[in-house]
A and B are shown apart, each in its own frame.
Chain A
């Protein structure tokens, strides 16, 4: 199975699938939806080794490194976890990752052309939910012949999708791995999202979302990203990384220039982000996260897990204050109350929310054996049901 592996992983490279139409959870329909996706490794004959990775707010389908046509290697956003010999081992598992609905990295989103007008959707694009993203992923898997998933894995907003998968398609999913995620955002996280949106909506170039022909609302989007990055770090990691150090100077400038290291870091993150991300997508993604409530239709969160055959693994990080551990404990508790199969661990880390991208060893230590313990999950489930 590994003999054919060339380079970093046996990767499909960027691909696109077109779906004729997508019904949205909030009502309404989107026609001619394009889904950008990539796969790594090979699907086993019994189909039991497929792992879907769901990306977070600013991610894309390129989850792991692959060789580009020009011979260079393109790094993936979760290289530390996905690849040959990694926790999500592409020599063992068939990994699929797609850009979410509403995204701006190949999948249909507000920046795509509305076939009715011939113009980009802008804010005419319908508000999409985490559930819609999941339904599109399910349709993608149908189309490419992946009937079931050994695991659906995601961090942050990706974890919301993973949890949603477990509830919407329990029969197709062996396990759900949610990292640094939540079953619903708290007021603080919604508040930070709103600050980001306010910065974008108030940018003079925003033009009601129809900015695709002219200058883009870069200042607003960069500001949103700066706020985001503050929430992804912890006080401790910021102190260790920047302290009060000045950049390229010995004394304060007494001017409004970028002088502290931390300012320069945030400015850089903002600049880098506007080169690759669409402001409208930022609005839609943050709204989808704000609306997400895994147990919205249940009087008791436990209800939704009562008959779940899915095995859950939830991981959090001690210093993550954006998706705090207590929120995962709430949902773990709801699962425990009804005897659902849940494993939970809180990983010691100073890196805040970003730890899911920066703490590969601690995650792999649990995730790799967890994925391994799912060998034969489908046969076992058939026996017990």
Chain B
């Protein structure tokens, strides 16, 4: 598979970061597309957590075990380090307490993979600076008054939050998407990327 093919959409990138055969928990797994892919293509043992009824039904259709739960109520049921990989894909910005969710994620998983829209992207900055209005873009397609995204963040802010909750960003992949493709960017990531995928782990677990 070429790098280009691997990078179609952030889900595909997230999937490529998950080790073969690992135990994966997807928080806010939606219709289970990622988990089904990880199960079928990478032989992972997969579990989902999802709030919406539509998502639950779609997961069941795909044969994915899924538990209906609100991430803001915590993952008390899940044991420490119960999963190899915990995925939080385009979900960080919709929860009430991203800090709590990230902390829980680091507790139950050895590695976390978080993808989120980068609010520091130059187009977003420009939209706000030049028009003086809340940005609407392809990665942030909602009007400010009717959006599931209640906590926008930037690549730099995410690093700060990660430190705050005792985590370390092990790897960070910055993406620029256009209609045709998703590209990785190296320099000036916080300015150029519209989406970020971060691999995180808890500091204490890394130290061990």
Contacts and interface: CB of A to CB of B under 8 A. Distances in A.
Interface of A: 302, 311, 313, 329, 332-334, 336-339, 341-346, 348, 365-366, 369-370, 372-373
Given A339-B47, A343-B67, A365 B57 contact: yes
Secondary structure at the B interface, as helix, strand, loop or mixed, is mixed
Contact of B78 (A336, A341, A346, A365): A336
Scoring B61, B62, B63, B79 by chain A CB atoms within 10 A of each residue's CB, the highest score goes to B63
A319 to B, nearest CB: 16
Nearest to A337: B79
Question: For chain B, which range describes its interface: under 10, 10 to 19, 20 to 34, or 35 or more residues?
Answer: 20 to 34
Interface string B72-110: 000011110010000000000000000000000000000
A69 B45 CA distance: 51
A369 B68 CA distance: 16
24 contacts: A302-B79, A332-B77, A333-B78, A336-B47, A336-B67, A337-B77, A338-B79, A339-B23, A339-B82, A342-B65, A343-B56, A343-B59, A343-B60, A343-B65, A343-B67, A344-B68, A345-B53, A345-B56, A346-B68, A348-B53, A365-B57, A366-B56, A366-B57, A369-B60
B42 to A, nearest CB: 15
A369 B57 contact: yes
Contacts of B53: 345, 348
B34 interface: no
A309 to B, nearest CB: 13
A339 B79 CA distance: 9
Given A343-B59, A348-B53, A366-B57, 8 more contacts: A313-B60, A334-B77, A337-B82, A339-B47, A344-B68, A345-B56, A369-B60, A370-B60
Contacts of A348: 53
B65 A332 contact: no
A373 B60 contact: yes
B66 to A, nearest CB: 5
A28 B40 CA distance: 50
Nearest to A338: B79
A345 B68 contact: yes
A313 B67 CA distance: 9
B35 to A, nearest CB: 12
Nearest to A377: B63
B60 A332 contact: no
7 closest residue pairs by CB, A with B: A333-B77, A373-B63, A369-B61, A345-B68, A337-B79, A344-B67, A336-B77
A329 B69 CA distance: 9
B67 A342 contact: yes
A343 B66 contact: yes
A346 to B, nearest CB: 6
